[in-house]
Amino acid sequence: VFGVRRAQRDGKKGWSAWVTGREEQWRGIVYSDVIFAAGFAIFVLSDFPPTQRFGLVVLAGLIIDILANLFVLPLLGGAQWKKK
């Protein structure tokens, strides 16, 4: 959202502001999620099944997080809602 606000201050509007924000912020989003995934992936190697499942659920959540932050939020934020 910070990248979008910055792009809007620079004169971009609508979808182009979201694209600019995503281009600016994607590395931080992906890198931080990869670091978290590496930390929680150790749980998958456990011999205790609930701990393994916990690690898998966290990894799945991090993948969903990347997709939501890079694709879903810009679509929702850049959507042009029509007034009735």
Closest CA to 69 of 30, 39, 40, 41: 30
As a whole number of angstroms, the longest Cα–Cα distance in the chain is 57
Alpha helices, DSSP H only, in 14-48? Answer: 15-40
pLDDT per residue as tens digits for the range 19-65: 788 888 889 889 999 999 999 999 999 999 999 999 999 999 999 99
Question: From CA 32, how far away is CA 28, in angstroms rounded?
Answer: 6
User: What span, in angstroms and rounded, lies between the C-alpha atoms of 40 and 44?
Assistant: 8
Distance CA 2, CA 30 (A): 16
pLDDT for 73: 80
Amino acid code (one letter) for 2: F
Amino acid at 57: V
Q: What is the residue extent of each domain of the chain? A: 2-78
Q: pLDDT at residue 84 above 70?
A: no
